[in-house]
Structure 1
Amino acid sequence: MERADAARNRRAILRAAEELLASHDLAEVSMDRVAAAAGVGKGTVFHRFGNREGLMRALVESRVEELSEAVAAGPPPLGPGAPPSERLAAFFDALVELATRNVKVMAAFEQASPDRLSSPIYVSWHAHVSGLIASAAPSLDADLVAHLLLGSLHSDLMLRFLRTGETVRLREGLRSMVATLLR
């Protein structure tokens, strides 16, 4: 159980980091700057998050928590109970929506995380996507196809689509890829 002051500091640090990212490039968002904006000592930020990558990961994790809960136990088609192809399309729709609402945070996490393939978020998403692909199309290499689909979301092109407001096009393109793969 987290102490009340520690929870308050965590929320303040995450809020400060998000506010700084809204108006600055990641390179300008130092741990010192985050600590000052949050009204805590630099040691508190380092103790809590370890480094800037840890801080960016915590920001992203706070955003994906709701999506993870919906995937695990929410209503279909995102949650259990829908055919795998519908769940997969709903998952990618939800990812595009998440990225659209949090484009700066997601981009900062990408820049700060040299090995995102081993991050708990990616590992979880990959397991979900590859499981759905294996159920829907057993002849496919589900592990590889999941990496390819998720990898398409980690690109400068994706960021361009999000920043230029082409989320509908992006969502429809992903849905088309999923439908074609699972035929």
Structure 2
Amino acid sequence: MAKTVHATSAPLRTDAARNRSRILEAALRRVEERGLSDLTMSEVAALAGVGKGTVFRHFGDRTGLLLALLDHSEQQFHASFTSGPPPLGPGAPAETRLRAFGHAVLRQMVNTVHVCLAAQMDPMRRFTASAYRVRLAHVAALLQEMLPAEDVELLAHVLMASLDPALTLTLVSQHDMTVDRVETGWDDLISRLAVSRGRVRYDE
């Protein structure tokens, strides 16, 4: 009996992982195409080609699905800036990587901002969330390389605040700013920071 259980359990785990991935991909496509309006677990199940119960078993409820979507997206993004190719990944000067990081965050946010806001935790608790702390540490490390004598911890928080999802959505939807314009503002901020600290701007 023990051999039979072990022989069948591995494929079940594989199927479960495959179903979870299909559900997340289907949900992300739906959000990118039509936003979060009227998104239901039943619709996601149909798009993924699985039963509604499967979606509930994996994610519990709609909020659980949204949080999983953010985590799925964050894992991919984390890999891009920690081990991906430059300028976002290792191998480029710190200032260039900071610019690339801001651009990548803003572009990712265009597709996920409504998910971020819908699943957002308490305003104070979100600053202790794992994704925020990982990004903060990355920005602080690049600032440490750029400006070793400065208060990089504080500067990192200030830079992260300029990439806040709610602020980005407000700039794009209420102030009619393009993402390109916001990216240019990020570049200008990084350049001014470097110059103001006596650093020579790195020209790509």
Scaled by the length of structure 1, the TM-score of the pair is 0.78
Distance 1:18 1:78 in 2: 23
Q: Please list the CA deviations of residues 111-132 of structure 1 after superposition, one character each: whole Å capped at 9, or x if unmatched.
A: 2121332332222111100111
Matches within 5 A, 1:18-57: 18-21=28-31, 22-23=33-34, 25=36, 28-31=38-41, 34-35=44-45, 38=48, 39-42=50-53, 44-57=54-67
Distance 1:24 1:78 in 2: 27
From the superposition, tell whether residues 24 and 64 of structure 1 become closer, same or farther in structure 2 (CA, over 3 Å): closer
Tell whether 2:190 aligns with 1:178: yes
From the superposition, tell whether residues 17 and 75 of structure 1 become closer, same or farther in structure 2 (CA, over 3 Å): closer
Matches within 5 A, 1:136-147: 136-147=146-157
Which structure has the larger Rg over C-alpha atoms? 2
Scaled by the length of structure 2, the TM-score of the pair is 0.71
Task: Indicate the residue corresponding to 1:125 in structure 2.
Answer: 135
Distance 2:167 2:93 in 1: 30
Distance 1:15 1:70 in 2: 18
Task: Indicate the residue corresponding to 1:68 in structure 2.
Answer: 78
Distance 1:99 1:109 in 2: 8
Unaligned runs of 5+ in 1: none
Distance 1:50 1:178 in 2: 41
Write the letter of the residue equivalent to 1:181.
Answer: L
When structure 1 is superposed on structure 2, of 128-137 and 115-124 the one drifting more is: 115-124
Identity of paired residues, percent? 35
Deviation at 1:178, TM superposition (A): 1.4
Write the letter of the residue equivalent to 2:116.
Answer: F
When structure 1 is superposed on structure 2, of 54-63 and 121-130 the one drifting more is: 54-63
Task: Indicate the residue corresponding to 1:167 in structure 2.
Answer: 179
Task: Indicate the residue corresponding to 2:118 in structure 1.
Answer: 111
Deviation at 1:92, TM superposition (A): 0.8
Total equivalences in the alignment: 178
Residue in structure 2 matching 1:156, options 163, 166, 188: 166
Task: Indicate the residue corresponding to 1:8 in structure 2.
Answer: 18
Contact 2:36 2:114 (C-alpha < 8 Å) held by counterparts: no
Contact 1:52 1:112 (C-alpha < 8 Å) held by counterparts: no
Tell whether 2:77 aligns with 1:77: no
Residue in structure 2 matching 1:17, options 3, 12, 27: 27
From the superposition, tell whether residues 18 and 78 of structure 1 become closer, same or farther in structure 2 (CA, over 3 Å): closer
